[in-house]
Amino acid sequence: MLLAEIADVGTDRFRGGYARHGFDRADLQLRAWFTEQAERRGLAVYTDRNGNLWAWWGEPGPGAVATGSHLDSVPGGGAFDGPLGVVSALAAVDVLRARDFVPARPIAVVVFAEEEGGRFGVPCLGSRLATGAIGPDTARGLRDPDGVSLAEAARAAGLNPAHLGRDDAALSGLRCFVELHVEQGRQLDLLPERTPVAVATSILAHGRWRLTFRGQGNHAGTTAVADRRDPMIPASSTVLAARRALAGTDARATVGRLVPTPGGTNVIPSSVDVWLDARAPSTPDTRKLVDEIVAAAREASAAEGCAVEVREESYGDAVTFDAALRDELAGLLGGVPALPTGAGHDAGILAARVPTAMLFVRNPTGVSHAPEEHAEPDDCAAGVAALASVLEHLAS
């Protein structure tokens, strides 16, 4: 299994799991590894203007069938989210080659850049840039936690940041894009059919908001309660408000990142940044959810004598995958189930421009974005076989 070859790349010694973020050392090592693997298979690899890698079987041209995923991870991420789709694509090429299949249409294996937004904050950055869902100026100005801009990181990785932006040339030739991905829930495992593979129906609307609470930095021991303007108080209220807002809904709201400044045990912070990830079945539902949480943040802020500033860092509407392609692939694979997901994917971004589908591989615990993320080897092999059949069908 090709995943074993990259198991040691970007392991996070402190938090566990992987730290592989757009254009960092681990990511560059993975990109070099992918290029080498693709070239070993006789695929011609090129890097597009946004840092996405394309490995071509056949001359790039109209009617191409693309597959792939991403190699970056969330902080402390698992081994399967992203890399499974990439290595399965390479393995599917091997399967088809072994069958002496000669594609009538070109096939591309794609690695999208910075899918998780783990470094620059915007998920699916490579596919958003390619489709125009984020403008190049906005993207160039994104900064990582150390203050390095995307423009600087891209330049250091050998890209020309002036070329970032919408890439009609890359997308207009695609007949379709199919992303294989580990399932990030337990729906498949809980189905009585016991099938290892499913197709995707839809993705929740989702976005990220940064709430900056400002108060007065001060001494933890000498500042009386009445004199405190502690931004950690409204920040914590907001975390709890996010959980309360979910009652009776099928929405999701999460605070996975909270950074106090300056960050000292004996220091009342002067400011606290809170990143809210919110998801719901539709844009109105998502907006309502976020409005409710932000109203609670403002109220708690005022009560503590603090100020709060809210910025939307990314947003994507709900996605319904191409129904005809979905049904065609489900039928081809023997009537596998069709499942919705709450996770974002490059396939969801591409769906605005190209007929797009996804294959999910069973995850026995449903855990994802954590080191315990898992798929059994037999299920991964079933995923490769399914993807090979899909590529054979679509590229014939």
Residues lying near ligand GLV in the complex (CB under 6 A) are found at 116, 123, 343-344
Q: Which does 27 bind (CB under 5 to 8 A by kind): ligand GLV, Mn ion, none?
A: none
Nearer to ligand GLV, 370 or 381 (CB): 370
Nearer to Mn ion, 237 or 341 (CB): 341
DSSP per-residue codes, 277-328:
EEEESSHHHHHHHHHHHHHHHHHHHHHTT-EEEEEEEEEE--EE--HHHHHH
Q: Is 121 one of the binding residues for Mn ion (CB under 5 A)?
A: no
Nearer to ligand GLV, 116 or 379 (CB): 116
- CA dihedral angle for residue 176, residue 182, residue 187, residue 191, rounded to 10 degrees: 90
Nearer to ligand GLV, 241 or 343 (CB): 343
How far apart CA 381 and CA 384 sit, in angstroms, is 5
Among the residue ranges 50-58, 78-86, 171-179, 263-271, the one whose residues contact Mn ion (CB under 5 A): 78-86
Nearer to ligand GLV, 49 or 128 (CB): 128
Q: Is 81 one of the binding residues for Mn ion (CB under 5 A)?
A: yes
Q: Is 234 one of the binding residues for Mn ion (CB under 5 A)?
A: no
List the beta strands (DSSP E) in the chain: 44-47, 53-57, 64-70, 107-112, 174-182, 197-203, 205-214, 218-219, 252-261, 267-268, 271-280, 307-316, 319-320, 338-341, 356-361
* 8-state DSSP, 126: H
Q: Least distance (Å) from ligand GLV to the CB of residue 343?
A: 4
Q: Which does 82 bind (CB under 5 to 8 A by kind): Mn ion, ligand GLV, none?
A: Mn ion
Nearer to ligand GLV, 230 or 373 (CB): 373
Q: Least distance (Å) from ligand GLV to the CB of residue 51?
A: 18
Nearer to Mn ion, 82 or 269 (CB): 82
Q: Tell me: cis bond preceding 340? Omega within 30 of 0 counts.
A: no
How far apart CA 340 and CA 199 sit, in angstroms, is 9
Q: Is 72 one of the binding residues for Mn ion (CB under 5 A)?
A: no
Residue 250 burial (10 A CB sphere; 0-12, 13-18, 19+): exposed
Q: Which does 68 bind (CB under 5 to 8 A by kind): ligand GLV, Mn ion, none?
A: none
Q: Is 82 one of the binding residues for Mn ion (CB under 5 A)?
A: yes
Could you tell me the two tokens for 386? 């399914």
**Which phi-psi region, left, alpha or beta, contains residue 369 (left: φ > 0; alpha: ψ -120 to 50)?**
left
Could you tell me the two tokens for 159? 């890209």
Q: Least distance (Å) from Mn ion to the CB of residue 115?
A: 6
Per rule CB under 5 A, count of chain residues that contact Mn ion: 2
Q: Which stretch of DSSP H or E encloses residue 375?
A: none
Q: Which does 344 bind (CB under 5 to 8 A by kind): ligand GLV, Mn ion, none?
A: ligand GLV
Among the residue ranges 74-82, 130-138, 263-271, 311-319, the one whose residues contact Mn ion (CB under 5 A): 74-82
The total of other beta-carbon atoms located within 10 Å of residue 224's CB is 6
Q: Least distance (Å) from ligand GLV to the CB of residue 246?
A: 17
Q: Least distance (Å) from ligand GLV to the CB of residue 251?
A: 14
Q: Which does 379 bind (CB under 5 to 8 A by kind): Mn ion, ligand GLV, none?
A: none
Among the residue ranges 80-88, 103-111, 169-177, 210-218, the one whose residues contact Mn ion (CB under 5 A): 80-88
Q: Which stretch of DSSP H or E encloses residue 156?
A: helix 150-156
How far apart CA 3 and CA 79 sit, in angstroms, is 8
Q: Which does 123 bind (CB under 5 to 8 A by kind): Mn ion, ligand GLV, none?
A: ligand GLV
Could you list the residues that contact Mn ion (CB under 5 A)?
Answer: 81-82
